[in-house]
Chains A and B, each alone.
Chain A
Amino acid sequence: MKFCFISSHAPYGSTLARDGIESLLVAASYDMNATVLFMGDGVLQLVAEQEPGELPQKNTGAMLQALEMYGIENILVCREDMLVFGLQAEQLLLKAKQVSRSDIPGIIREQDRVLNF
């Protein structure tokens, strides 16, 4: 079953990003075909070399690097929202597939279930 996690909040200011990642990992552990889409402020979760240790908080960027271990390969990021923050592909902590905002409705339509974080 195709599950899409839409993550649209920045990390650390609230725990939404972390709660979304943990839910995503559980979906993968339940053998769901999981896709994660970072959009809006959520693209900031992908910035490389995060160091939230002084906050102190868990590093959600480090958690995202475990996606591969959990068999999650469909990692999407909204191209226009990257531009909003001046982010280039080489500044991201993992290889995400860039999609355009206009592609998103089609991506959602292909999914069986969608959860928002």
Chain B
Amino acid sequence: MNYTLVIHGAPASSQSCQTALSFARAALNRGHKIARAFFFRDAVHIGSGLTVAPQGEADLHKAWKELAEEHEIDLVICISAALKRGLVDEREARRYDKVSHNIDAPFNFSGLGQLIDGAATSDHVITFGD
């Protein structure tokens, strides 16, 4: 089976990015495929390359990045949710005259169309709420 995951909660203050990660690993172990993870609302913070995980605690940004690279998961950060929270990639930083950017590959910016497209083209869509 092919899954699209929709994640709403902030990595630092909600369990949702971790739960989605654990689900993704379990599904992959069973031979399923995770086509796309769509980070929406506060979950867009997962994309920031500037987060520092406390020693001895999970680094969710790194964990998602490594899982995506190993299993070719499309990691989409909702652009409108990200911009209002101070998360920008290089292109948007240029467009809005911002001094730096904090989103890099494999995380990529796109719109809600990718949420609908991912849900439509996967066998299942699962929401991990706040």
A and B touch in the complex (CB under 8 A): yes
A interface with B by C-beta (< 8 Å): 1, 3, 15-16, 19, 22-23, 26-27, 29-30, 32, 113-116
Q: Which of B49-57, B61-69, B89-97, B119-127 contacts A (4 or more CB under 8 A)?
A: B119-127
Known contacts A116-B127, A116-B129: does B119 contact A3 (CB below 8 Å)? yes
Contact between B127 and A23, CB atoms less than 8 A apart: no
Given contacts A26-B112, A30-B116, list 10 more A-B pairs with CB under 8 A.
A16-B8, A19-B41, A26-B111, A26-B115, A30-B113, A32-B120, A113-B119, A115-B115, A115-B125, A116-B129
Count of inter-chain pairs, beta carbons less than 8 A: 39
Contact between A23 and B112, CB atoms less than 8 A apart: yes
**How many residues of B are counted as interface, with CB atoms below 8 angstroms from the partner's CB atoms?**
17
CB-based closest 4 A-B pairs: A26-B112, A116-B127, A113-B119, A30-B116
CB distance from B36 to the nearest CB of A (A): 13
CB distance from B86 to the nearest CB of A (A): 16
B interface with A by C-beta (< 8 Å): 6, 8, 40-41, 81, 111-113, 115-117, 119-120, 125, 127, 129-130
Q: Looking at the complex, which one of A16, A19, A113 makes contact with B120 (CB distance below 8 Å)? A: A113
